[in-house]
Structure 1
Amino acid sequence: MSPTRVLVLNSGSSSVKYQLLDMRGSDRLAVGLLERIGEETSRLKHTPAGGGSREWSGSIPDHESALKAVAAELAKDGLGLDSPELAAIGHRVVHGGRHFTEPTVIDDAVLAEIERLIPVAPLHNPANLTGIRTAQALRPDLPQVAVFDTAFHTTMPESAARYAIDVETADAHRIRRYGFHGTSHAYVSRETARLLGRAPEDVNVIVLHLGNGASASAVRGGRCVDTSMGLTPLEGLVMGTRSGDMDPAVIFHLMRVGGMSADEIDTLLNKRSGLIGLCGDNDMREIRRRVDAGDERARLAFDIYIHRLKKYIGAYYAVLGRVDAVAFTAGVGENAAPVREAAVAGLEGLGLAVDGGLNAVRGDTARLISPADARVAVAVVPTDEEMEIATQTYALVIGSGGSAGSENLT
């Protein structure tokens, strides 16, 4: 029997998230997180199928040591990286530029292109590369597949992907709208169609991925035609610590009048803005607690968050022309009923409404929260980016025998 297991790795600058899945039944065999790599005390939490989490703390100096620690934990459950049942390792890679439009078996040319994209993803692609190279060293015989956050959005038309700046300058510096959270948007749009009992190619969906990072997408017939994030994940919705849309002249003003450097402004907009900049909290649960207690600063932050979200719903309704469903996903989208209620309030003329009772129900399965007679379905669809990465990785490896690679470069 052919191997059916896929290890999914999400390598950050100081962390590694992982899941081991058996694709015969889409079963999770183990999940885990190793964080604080390179710090004095690193932490690993590992949960095999059936529960019984194990936690470990100690010194993990680098990603090579981190993956060896992950492999050791998997081996304790008989799931080691040397298992002949392991078919491939799937890697989340944040930025694939215009070249990578689909999952890609990694070879030297693919690695070189991911590295070439570091200037447009300086916080993410270096860590992704480190994870890939470390995994390759541990299992050089195994197909390693890159699944790109940007790939789902490469179907956007030029009218949506281009910024209105000088074309030669934009092309010289690869300035365009790439979009992110693509694996989540792909998974959720497809699951929303399934929830409606229809084929993805027959459904138009607005997907709202609302976590600490947040993005919206307009998906027509299974293909992304617009998304809120742009050259970087800074554009678009109000997020936990990121500003989202803003007049670019604010940057010039801060440089000329505020005396701030480019790095200081980068830190301001990415780490000290959004909800945390508006009210000092980026946890929606705490913000709602403060709102309910009468905190005006928290109320303003919440109102700004909802105002931006509602603007994108309306904009993407116009882009799509016909909307079959609006799907909420990720930490805030799946768990914050007040956000969902407020986001569609006043949009009844567009056929959008939520049922108060259905909206208040918590659960970990996809469900409709709109009234039965609603013209547009409103859904809560838990995202599963790791499953999406594993599914794409397995389909590529099984379909190509592990030989696909740099032909995805153009």
Structure 2
Amino acid sequence: MSATLELPAATNPASESRPTEQRLLFQPIKVGRFELPHRIVMAPLTRSRARQPGNVPSALNACYYQQRASAALIVSEATQISMQGQGYAWTPGIHSREQVEGWRLVTDAVHEAGGRIVLQMWHVGRISHPALQPDGMPPVAPSPIRPESMAFIENEKGEGELAPFVTPRALQPEEMPYLVAQYERAARHAIKAGFDGVEVHGANGYLLDQFLCTGTNRRTDAYGGPVENRVRLLLEVVDAVTKVWDAEAVGVRLSPMGAANDIRDDDPLTTFTHATRELNARKLAYLHVVNPAMGALENKTTPDAAAMQMLQRIREAWHGPLMLAGGFDADTAEQWLREGRADLVAIGRKFIANPDLPERLRTHAPLNADDAATYYGGGEKGYTDYPSLAQERGQAPKACVDESWR
């Protein structure tokens, strides 16, 4: 694999030159237990629209996901495995009976439309605030290092508000089995909720990523220091989850070289190559990687050599289906698939405004523009009111009807 990549020129797009039936993006693929009709995955998207009180998925959420069921696979929005795992206002959980029942509305709606959906299991670690924690306790983390930036909380008026992060409490060794048990419980709840599989969120500066990376893990016990120790919690979680689900229904998300949520690692090449090798030995359904070359793809520039080296190492260490997320359009997705850099691509923001995104990409139809002001919180506006092609042509109702899912 080359350390550099020449992106497709505007005058020579990769997908425009091939009939749809010859484009890899639209070829079926087997991923673990999943027989997928094409390669376009809906990436996890936090939208902060869980019903209150209780952070419970509702009919509105069922409508939203049902609209997007034409994705090859839907990875649900990140879902907290416990009250302690919450880091943002109004995000859904999977730890209460009401939440399980709410998610059942969602999975039934997706399945009714012919789709497949996996639950992304989430613990944010230090990326939280006492206002979101049980009894106002400080968030937990590998080490007591306060992140930069701000937390998104609900204020006394019931409105979203930004508040400075606080210094987290370092988890004690005796707490680790209980933490792993939270993931195992969430995996069992995902079965009751009707999901097709689960994804362990080990990316984007959240708890498992915090243990992986040296910038947030200063521990000197069995969970800190050398990479073999820093990867321990991630592997314990994966091993617990695969006792509940067959490994062929389990994926993991990593973000090598990521900087989200004030995360960093002194030697990401070593850290994430080692983590990938360990995960590969567990024969999971897929590995979901946040593309370190995302910025270059978005800006149509040549990716950094270090980013491409990282991707090459992961490709060599991981022998199963590899999903990459970040920066793709139809042309670059097709090119990367053909060059063997990935087997599937996960697309996020484009799915927000284009519920039928695979069909739009397949037919080269125009894409709706998304409204960033409606990303988080609120109701139907900016959530379920984006039209499909069929709706634009008057061939389908103008709005998703969610009453049947109440």
> Under a length normalisation based on structure 2, what TM-score does the superposition of the two structures give?
0.29
Work out which structure has the larger RCO, using CA pairs closer than 8 Å and 6 or more positions apart in sequence. 2
- Which protein has the bigger helix share? 1
- Which protein has the bigger strand share? 1
